Structures are given as structure tokens and as C-alpha cells.
Structure 1
Amino acid sequence: MNVIRKFGATGLIVALLGWAAATVAWRMADDEPGTGGLRLALPNTLVVVDPKGTHVRQTTRDGKQLLGTGPDCRRAAVAAGTLVCLRALAGPFSSEVRVYRSGKNEPEVTLPVWGNPSRARVSPSGHLVAWTVFRSGDSYADSGRFATTAGIYDLRNGHHYGSLEDFTVVLRGKRSQPEDRNFWGITFAADDRTFYATMSSKGRTHLLRGDLATRTLTALRTNVECPSLSPDGTRIAYKKRVSGHWRLHVLHLRTGEDTMLASPPGIDDQAAWLDAKTIAYGTVDHGSSFVYTVRADGSGKPVRLVEGGSPSVTTGGR
């Protein structure tokens, strides 16, 4: 059994947080660009990671005008004046989460993470940030295969919720803690309590509804990956395996209606809602990364928006 399974993900996170506190001085003094060139409180602008997968760029919503360049991020997301930046560090499976606030050029929070950057999200209020990383070394994983883990941090009180592996899973009405569980792709509701995520176990993926107050995860549906909650909280954009390929879909949470979008097969991204009718996603096209948009009702065709990936839309300051 590996160290995560033996001592728990939270124990490892606490140790890493202690290391982070001891090294915060030099991290704050490094020469990485901050958010001086970004206007996080300016609503309805597009934030993407540049095509090389390094720095954040802010553009007008149509992608035609560059407004600013920000920190070094492999994955990024923004909401309500908060930018979460998941960046790779030197060494294998070594990353850190940096959180920036509107009007500040240095990160407000820096957290070390064991794993390679995968996904990042901010709650609509800007109070909660989440991330997903790839890692290796789990006892259940086949040799050469990666596992994933996800975490959440509350900026209001500095509370680290640890890994989702430490939450209680309710699967088919019963509590279940499968040994081979993996979590990824967190998306937040507006109440700063409810969230959605993906869990895989025994070759199946599940859409989970999470509750931060009770630290529970309830399985709702299978074959759902990388959920993204709509601005009104009624629908989830996600990727679903169809005939062996990922296809973007939109699920209506109340009715269960499921709509395939007009994007091509093979999209490997956690999509983002630009507004109630439009979804953005990143993909590689002819060797370069681009952000496309597509209608949420399944009609129309994909529209290329801007070079880059990990799209997110600013929603103004708090």
C-alpha cells in the first residue's frame, strides 16, 4: 500500500502546507510575472493559457484584442476577480497552485501540489478554488499509468479541504470507498457549498454532486467526465465516450435530457460556459492549440476564437 492510502491524502497535504509556509518568502520574491497586466475585475473578457501552455493571456471576448499577459500557468481559471493558476515546477510530479486577486500583483496564496497540472476552477463568488493533477505511485494503478486527484481551498478562511479521496462517496445509495477511485474536473455551484466532479472506479466514470459541509460525494450518473456547470446552475457541459471517442454534451440536471454538441469527436478538455448559450473548449488543431466556441443547444458549427487553451471568462469583481 502506498503512502497516500496508508496515511491519507489530508496528512500529506498538511505536511506539504508546512513546507509551503517555510518557503513562501522566496516564492513571493521570484521574478515570475504577476497580474499587473491583467484586469481581473473587468467583466466579460476571455482568459486563456497561451499556445505554448505557459503564460495567461487576457483578451476581449471575441479574442481579437490582447488586454494583458499574466503569470506562468499550465492551467488557469478566473471568476469574480480571482485567478487560480496551476503551474508546473522543476522535478517530476511537482506543481503549485497560485491564487491571485484583482489589483494585486503577487499571489495571495501559494500551495504545493504533488502531481502534474490537469484542471483548475474558481467558484462564481471567487471564494473557492479547485485543481486536478495527474500523479503516479498509487498502489492500485497499473505500471506506467497515471492517477488523478483533486482538491479545494477556501480563500475566506484559509481552509484546505484536502483531497476528494478523503470525502465519503455514496454510490447507488450506499457508502462506498473503492480502492481504485480517481477524482477530477471540479465545477462549483453559486452557493459555495455544492460542487460537481468526476470519479472513476472499476473502469466506469461517475458524475458526483459534492457537499463541502458534509464532505460527501453522491453519484448521479455514469459516463460523465469533466463537468462544467452553467451560469444558472441548471445544466452541465461535459465530455462523454461515444463509440470510443469523447464527445461534448450538455446534461439538463432536472430533466435528465442529454444533448450532443456540434464539436468534433476527441475533445479532451473541461469546457467553459461563456454565457448561457455558448460553450468554449480548447483543442489541438494542426499542431497548435486553439479555443473554439459551440452552441449549448447542439445546433450550429464550432467557431475558432483564439489561439490558446484552458478558456475562462471574467465575471467582474466581488
Structure 2
Amino acid sequence: MTGRSRWWLLSAIAALVMTAATVYGVGEWRRYQSLQAAPSSVDVATGPSLSGPRVIFRNTAVGDDYGRVAAVPLDDPGAPRAVSDLECDRVDATPERTVCLRTVRGVVTTFEATVYGADGTQESSWPLPGIPSRTRLSESSRLVATTAFVTGHSYVAVGFSTETVVTDTVAGTSANIQEFEFTVDGRRVTSPDRNMWGVTFAADDNTFFATAASGGQTWLVEGDLAARTLVAIKQGAECPSLSPDGSRLAYKKDLDPGADARWAIAVLDLATGVEVVLPGEQSIDDQAEWLDDGTVLYGLPRIDAVGDNDIWAVAADGSSDPVVFIERAMSPAVVREG
């Protein structure tokens, strides 16, 4: 291929990317406006922002507050929700910090991650390479993990690619975990189709768990930030979430690995290796959150309402069926203190 041909090819690719971004941005903006136009379908609290033990989430009830970060008391999830001015696609929080992944809608849509302090003051912000997917704060609030789609809109899309970065908010450094050494059964995986996403942190601010994929297979991996390594510990587990006591991982498990994926939440005991698949009828595409050591939360889209979701709760030992925990909400983050 000549230099001129390469130039024209790159120009054509750039034009296609720009067109796709424009179409996506316009479509998302119109859908977003329509969801904000209707009256709110939930009770909203008035007064100061909620503090104390609480569940923070993205409000998906139609109306002016659609897409904003909201909160309910930890011991009363059905109470009227306190809604902030912060708009996020994905959110996580600790008593000290909140991380927000958002879509900046416009003629050309962009994406960003922003970290806020306990008083709501913005501490830092940086661009994301694509559509926000997952985010987690470490227990200390020092580390922030972000996953964004570089190509494709979901994990079920053919040829999707993600970028997962761990940012140290104290040191001001970041690491793309796709660049870490990845091994399966002692064998290094170096193929260019490697993909990593869905981080959850251990309490030591060094160990983490995530998903790694290559060659059509996925693994639950244990990561070491200092050593820059990823070691596969189980096949077929995605989007892990570590329990508050650090003893178990909840993750997505495909119960039907054929053409039509059927995702359920499973819980792995790290000491015994025993896995329990939790009950539920609907396929789940979410990174779970632990309400406490005995209960797992996750989001599910409403079948009858595009863009609307509910947060469900299920016993971590599989002893009971899931129930709706918070209506018209997604991306739960449990703040147990503050």
C-alpha cells in the first residue's frame, strides 16, 4: 500500500469513527431528554443530602432527576430518595470519596471519570476512551478502577474491547492492567486479543481481582499492583466483587455458554473453592455489590421500560429467591459508615 493510499484509508476510518460518535451522541441525547421530560415516578426527599450509612445509586426513574446520583438509608431502602445534582452512568462511593463515570452528551459525545471528596468538591477528572462500564473504589478510597468500552457497547458484542485502568489518587499515578503479565496455569498469555475488566480491590491496596479474556475464554484473575501481574484462578467467572470480610467473591457466571448467554450471579469461597450459583430467572449483566456479608445486590433492566432498572437483593448462600431492593435504580454502592 502506498503512502497516499494509507493516508486515504486512515482518513476514511477517522470519518467513520466521527460519524459513529455523532450518531451515538445524538441518539443518546434524544433518549436522555425524553426520559427527563416525564414526571418522576418515585418519592424524592427534600432537604440536605443524605449522610450516615446509606446506599448510593444511579436514579433511573423518569423525570428531571433521571441519571442523577441518589441515596437511601441503608436500613430503609424504600424511603424517599435524596437526589443530588451529580449525573453519572456508573458510580461507586466510600465515606471519603465518590467516583462518577459519565457520558458528556453533545454533537460529538465524550466520556470522563471524576472523583469527588466527602463534601462534594471535585478532586480530579480525566477522559475515558469510550462508553463507561465499571468502576470501583478501594476500601481506603485511595485507588480508583475504571473500565470503559473502546469498541462495542457491551460484553456480549462481537469484537468488544475494553480499557481498565487503576488510578492512585494519592501518588497521582495510573496503570493499565492490560499491560500486566498475565498467566494461566503458569503459562504466559501474550496474544494481542487480551482483554481485562471489572476490578474489585482487597483491603491491602495492592491485591485485586478482575476478569481477563483471550481466545474466546474468560478467567477470574488475582492481580498484584506492585508486581504488575495477573494470575488466573478460575475459568468462566466475570466482573468479580469481593465480600466485606474478604472471604468470598461474587461474579457473573454463564450458565449456557452456547450462542445465547444466560448469566447468573455465583459466589466463590476463596478458602474452600466451593461455588454456589444464586437463584434468579433473568440474565444478569452487572458487577455485583455486597450489601453485607450475607447479601448480594445487582442491577437488572426493567423489561417494560427502556432505560429503567431495579436493584435486586439475594442471599449469598443461595437460600432464598432474589427480591427487589430499590426500584428504578442501578449501580449500587453501599456506604456502611459516614
> Which range, TM-score by smaller chain?
0.7 to 0.9
Are residues 92 and 199 of structure 1, via their aligned partners in 2, closer, same or farther at CA, if it must alter by over 3 Å?
farther
| 1:315 aligns to 2:336 (yes or no) | yes
Q: Map 1:16-55 to 2 at 5 A.
A: 38-39=49-50, 42-51=51-60, 54-55=67-68
Counterpart AA for 1:147: S
TM-score computed with the length of structure 2 as normaliser = 0.76
Q: Is the 8 A contact 1:60 1:67 kept in 2?
A: no
Q: Is the 8 A contact 1:81 1:314 kept in 2?
A: no
Q: Map 1:177-192 to 2 at 5 A.
A: 177-192=190-205
Are residues 229 and 92 of structure 1, via their aligned partners in 2, closer, same or farther at CA, if it must alter by over 3 Å?
farther
Q: Map 1:113-128 to 2 at 5 A.
A: 113-128=128-143
The structure 1 segments of at least 4 consecutive aligned residues displaced by more than 3 Å after TM superposition are 36-39, 90-93
Matching residue within 249, 263, 275 for 2:280:
263
Q: Secondary structure at the match of 1:218?
A: strand
Q: Deviations over 1:221-261 (max 9, x none)?
A: 10000100000111000010012311110011111100011
Quote how far apart the aligned CAs of 1:176 are: 2.1
Q: Secondary structure at the match of 2:266?
A: strand
Quote how far apart the aligned CAs of 1:302 are: 1.1
| Aligned equivalent of 1:96 | 112
Quote how far apart the aligned CAs of 1:196 are: 0.4
Q: Deviations over 1:250-280 (max 9, x none)?
A: 0111111000112324111001001000111
Q: Is the 8 A contact 2:198 2:210 kept in 1?
A: yes
TM-score computed with the length of structure 1 as normaliser = 0.81
Q: Is the 8 A contact 1:37 1:69 kept in 2?
A: no
Quote how far apart the aligned CAs of 1:74 are: 0.1
Structure 2: state its 5+ residue gaps.
1-46
| Aligned equivalent of 1:71 | 86
Q: Is the 8 A contact 1:100 1:106 kept in 2?
A: yes
Q: Secondary structure at the match of 1:108?
A: strand
Q: Report the Cα distance in structure 1 between the residues aligned to 2:242 and 2:109, rounded to whole angstroms.
A: 29
Q: Is the 8 A contact 1:260 1:298 kept in 2?
A: yes
Q: Which has the larger Rg?
A: 2
Q: Report the Cα distance in structure 1 between the residues aligned to 2:48 and 2:136, rounded to whole angstroms.
A: 21
Q: Report the Cα distance in structure 1 between the residues aligned to 2:149 and 2:281, rounded to whole angstroms.
A: 25
| Aligned equivalent of 1:292 | 312
Are residues 254 and 144 of structure 1, via their aligned partners in 2, closer, same or farther at CA, if it must alter by over 3 Å?
closer
Q: Report the Cα distance in structure 1 between the residues aligned to 2:280 and 2:311, rounded to whole angstroms.
A: 12
Q: Report the Cα distance in structure 2 between the residues aligned to 1:260 and 1:202, rounded to whole angstroms.
A: 25
Q: Report the Cα distance in structure 2 between the residues aligned to 1:235 and 1:37, rounded to whole angstroms.
A: 36
| Aligned equivalent of 2:295 | 278
Q: Report the Cα distance in structure 2 between the residues aligned to 1:166 and 1:92, rounded to whole angstroms.
A: 29
Identical positions, percent: 38
